[in-house]
Chain A
Amino acid sequence: QITLKESGPTLVKPTQTLTLTCSFSGFSLSTRGVGVGWIRQPPVKALEWLGIIYWDDDKRYSPSLKSRLTITKDTSKNQVVLIMTNMDPVDSGTYYCAHRVGLAVFDYWGQGTLVTVSS
């Protein structure tokens, strides 16, 4: 059974760096073809793809956010970390991590974690 859970601060100040951790079970990020993605959703708005990390440590980022994002993995801990720099109030929202199967398909999602950016 695949499960994922996001964790991290609920409140960050503008210009600060956000670090979120996705802890997962039921699969290994060292298995060929596996990936974990990050998706966010501002309040009452649409989903936005942020990026993904693959089993071979290949990473892809949203072109519009690429300069601010870093995704890393710790295979031994079954964790993926999202780092987003220079946070702004418009970055407030729910951040999800999800298990990738096949190209552009997320079949299991975490419950999401709400991040508010405010001074």
Chain B
Amino acid sequence: QSALTQPASVSGSPGQSITISCTGTSSDVGGYNHVSWYQQRPGEAPKLMIYEVSDRPSGVSSRFSGSTSGNTASLTISGLQAEDEADYYCSSYSSSSTLVFGGGTKLTVL
């Protein structure tokens, strides 16, 4: 069970859109529609932003959206804002009823 692969960093200017990828295998991302995304600011606990690939919890901005294609999940943030600067982690349900996280992506708002 290896960690899901995410780019180490992405950046964008305010107002732009960015996409963070999360690549796994057919045993996790590609095999189940159970991908979540978490936002983590320095010194804070992770916050759920997307679950079940594309659903948003109550209170999460509609600027955040998720999707999958094959073994890769994606998180898109549109209308980038300074407050979006944080680390983002994907996670997926995996075989044997376990769970795996991605390596994390640092989003910088220029």
**B34-A106 in contact (CB<8A):** no
Per the 8 Å Cβ criterion, residues 35-80 of A in contact with B are: 37, 39, 45-49, 52, 60-64
Question: For A24, what are the chain B residues with a Cβ–Cβ distance below 8 Å?
Answer: none
Contact of A104 among B3, B46, B91 (CB under 8 A): B91
Known: A47-B89, A105-B48, A112-B45. A63 touches B96 (CB 8 A): yes
A-contact bits for B40-75, CB 8 A (1 contact / 0 none): 100001111001100001000000000000000000
B-to-A contact residues, CB < 8 Å: 1, 3, 32, 34-36, 38, 40, 45-48, 51-52, 57, 89, 91-94, 96-104
Main secondary structure of the interface of B (DSSP, over half): strand
Main secondary structure of the interface of A (DSSP, over half): loop
Contact of A111 among B38, B45, B48, B57 (CB under 8 A): B45
A-to-B contact residues, CB < 8 Å: 37, 39, 45-49, 52, 60-64, 96, 102-107, 109-112
**B92-A104 in contact (CB<8A):** yes
**B104-A62 in contact (CB<8A):** no
Distance between B44 CB and nearest chain A CB, rounded to angstroms:
8
Distance between B89 CB and nearest chain A CB, rounded to angstroms:
5
Question: For A63, what are the chain B residues with a Cβ–Cβ distance below 8 Å?
Answer: 1, 96, 98
Question: For A109, what are the chain B residues with a Cβ–Cβ distance below 8 Å?
Answer: 45-47
**A47-B45 in contact (CB<8A):** no
Task: From A63, A96, A103, name the one whose CB has the most chain B CB atoms within 10 angstroms.
Answer: A103
30 CB-based A-B contacts, threshold 8 Å = A37-B99, A39-B101, A46-B3, A46-B89, A46-B102, A46-B103, A46-B104, A48-B101, A49-B91, A49-B100, A49-B101, A60-B99, A61-B98, A63-B96, A102-B51, A103-B32, A103-B93, A104-B34, A104-B35, A104-B36, A104-B94, A104-B99, A105-B36, A105-B48, A106-B46, A109-B45, A109-B46, A109-B47, A110-B45, A112-B45
Task: A64 to B17: give the CA distance in the assembly, Å.
Answer: 37
Question: For B3, what are the chain A residues with a Cβ–Cβ distance below 8 Å?
Answer: 46, 48
